Amino acid sequence: LASGATVAFQIDLAALDLPLPHRLNVSAASVTQTRTGCYARLETPEGFLDSPNYPADYPPGLDCCYDIARPSTSYCGVKLYAEQLVVGKQPSDGAFCQTDWLAMESCVPEGGSRYCGNLTGSTYQFLFQPGSRALRFQFHSSGGSRRPRPSAGAVLRFRLRYRLLRSCRGLFQEPAVGALPGPGPNRPCYARVRNRRGAIHTPGYPQPYPPGQDCVYEFVRPNPFICGVRMRSTSFELEPSVSTPFGGACSDFLQTPGCGFLCGSLNFTWLAVYQPGATSQRFHFHSDDENNFNGFFITFEQVYHCPDS
DSSP letter for each residue of 121-169: T-EEEEEPPTT-SEEEEEEEE---SS---SSTT---EEEEEEEEES---
Q: Let me know whether 97 and 215 are in one domain.
A: no
pLDDT for 119-145, tens place per residue?
999 999 999 999 999 999 999 998 877
CA angle 170, 174, 176 (to 5 degrees): 100
Measure CA of the first residue to CA of the last residue in the chain; give whole Å: 38
Q: What is the pLDDT of residue 170?
A: 64
CA separation for the pair 221, 227 (Å, rounded): 8
Q: What is the pLDDT of residue 111?
A: 60
pLDDT for 145-155, tens place per residue?
778 888 888 99
Q: Would 1 be classed as within a structural domain?
A: no
Q: What percent of the chain has pLDDT over 70?
A: 83
113: helix, coil or strand?
Answer: helix
Q: What is the pLDDT of residue 109?
A: 77
Q: 7-16, 54-63, 129-138 — which is least confidently predicted?
A: 7-16
Q: Let me know whether 160 and 47 are in one domain.
A: yes
Is residue 235 within 8 A of residue 296, CB to CB? The reply is yes
Q: Would 247 be classed as within a structural domain?
A: yes
Helix (H) or strand (E) holding 178: none
- Mean pLDDT taken over the chain: 83
pLDDT greater at residue 146 or residue 233: 233
Instruction: Choose the most confident range, by mean pLDDT, from 14-18, 27-31, 74-78.
Output: 74-78
pTM, two decimals, is 0.81
Section 105-114 average pLDDT: 79
Section 276-285 average pLDDT: 95
Q: Given phi > 0 = left and psi -120 to 50 = alpha, else beta, which region is 295? A: left
Q: Could you tell me which residues come within 8 angstroms of residue 11 by beta carbon, excluding any fewer than 6 positions away? A: 195, 197, 198
Q: What is the pLDDT of residue 40?
A: 93
Can you say how many angstroms the Cα of residue 131 is from the centroid of all Cα atoms in its chain?
16
pLDDT at 19 over 80: no
Range of the domain at 45: 32-165
The dihedral through the CA atoms of 73, 37, 304, 192 has a sign that is positive
Q: What is the pLDDT of residue 17?
A: 31
User: Any idea what DSSP says for residue 265?
Assistant: B
Q: Could you tell me which residues come within 8 angstroms of residue 13 by beta carbon, excluding any fewer than 6 positions away? A: 195, 196, 197
Section 40-52 average pLDDT: 95
Q: What is the pLDDT of residue 238?
A: 94
71: helix, coil or strand?
Answer: coil
Q: Let me know whether 129 and 238 are in one domain.
A: no
Count of structural domains, the chain: 2
Q: Let me know whether 147 and 199 are in one domain.
A: no
Q: Would 9 be classed as within a structural domain?
A: no
Q: Let me know whether 138 and 194 are in one domain.
A: no
Q: What is the pLDDT of residue 27?
A: 34
Q: What is the CATH number of the domain that holds 209?
A: 2.60.120.290
- Residue 33 banded pLDDT, cuts 50, 70, 90: very low
Q: Let me know whether 188 and 122 are in one domain.
A: no
Q: Give the per-residue SS3 of 201-216.
A: ECCCCCCCCCCCCEEE
Q: Which of 225, 224, 226, 177 is nearest to 197 (CA)?
A: 226
Q: What is the pLDDT of residue 215?
A: 93
Q: What is the pLDDT of residue 35?
A: 42
Q: Would 11 be classed as within a structural domain?
A: no
pLDDT greater at residue 248 or residue 285: 285
Q: Would 155 be classed as within a structural domain?
A: yes
Section 162-186 average pLDDT: 78
214-220/190-193 β-pairing: parallel
- From 165, 194, 209, the end of a domain falls on 165
Q: Let me know whether 200 and 229 are in one domain.
A: yes
Q: Would 50 be classed as within a structural domain?
A: yes
Section 159-188 average pLDDT: 81
Is it true that the peptide bond before 52 is cis, omega within 30 degrees of 0? no
Q: Let me know whether 159 and 207 are in one domain.
A: no
How would you class 71 by CB atoms within 10 Å of its CB: exposed for 0-12, middle for 13-18, buried for 19 or more?
exposed
Section 272-296 average pLDDT: 92
Q: What is the pLDDT of residue 292?
A: 81
